[in-house]
Amino acid sequence: MIRNLRVPALALALGALLAACGDDEGSAEYQTAYTNHQPLAVTGHPSTGSLGTVQRIVWHLADKDADALAALNTEGGDAGSEARAWIKAYGADAQGEVTADFLDEGSVRQDVVLHFTKSRRTQELTVRIGDDDTWGVVLDRPEPEPEAR
């Protein structure tokens, strides 16, 4: 009987240890953001990095968080004005349904087209691995295009 109790207790302890060790930086923050926002519809073949980055971009737009959006910029320098322009153009739209079309292969960079259902506009962007080996966005001025009918 004692032997039968040891196995579940060991499994429980090991699971707790793995959960504690596996909590990568920001994973709790990511999970919270994931549950607090509309789901992102996806087409194409994103990598884990490109998908996570595009989700964060849409969330930061929806939250109108220019600082967080600018922090994802891979091009260096102050991207605050570009982030504010993106929020002005898409902040309200990002609170609704958004579809991301992931183009080409996404191992180190990927072009993505965002489709904002509310305004029926699209925006192309490039996500890539930056100098610090983390995924981010090339944060240029937004150029909204009407959705093709």
Q: Pick left, alpha or beta for residue 105 (phi over 0 → left; psi -120 to 50 → alpha; otherwise beta).
A: beta
Q: What is the CATH number of the domain that holds 52?
A: 3.10.450
Per-residue CA distances from 121 to 65, 89, 93, 126 (Å): 21, 10, 9, 17
Q: Are residues 64 and 5 in the same domain?
A: no
Kindly state the tokens that stand for 61. Answer: 């737009």
* Three-state DSSP state, 95: helix
- Check residue 34 and give its pLDDT: 82
Amino acid identity, position 21: C
Residue type, 107: S
Identify whether residues 2 and 52 lie together within a single domain: no
Q: Are residues 32 and 68 in the same domain?
A: no
| Domains of the chain: total | 2
pLDDT value for 149:
53
Each residue's pLDDT, cut to its tens digit, for the chain (149 residues) gives 555 545 444 343 434 433 444 445 568 888 888 888 889 999 999 999 999 999 999 999 999 999 999 999 999 889 999 999 999 999 999 999 999 999 999 999 999 999 999 899 999 999 999 988 999 999 988 887 766 55
Q: Which of 76, 56, 78, 77 has the alpha carbon at shortest distance from 68? A: 56
Long-range CB contact pairs, 7-11, < 8 A, 24+: none
Q: What letter represents residue 39's amino acid? A: P
- What is the model's pLDDT at position 35? 86
Residue 81 burial (CB count, 10 A): 12
**Domain of 6, in residue numbers:** 1-36
> What pLDDT is stored for residue 144 in this prediction?
74
- Do 28 and 44 share a domain, yes or no? no
Do residues 43 and 29 share a domain?
Answer: no
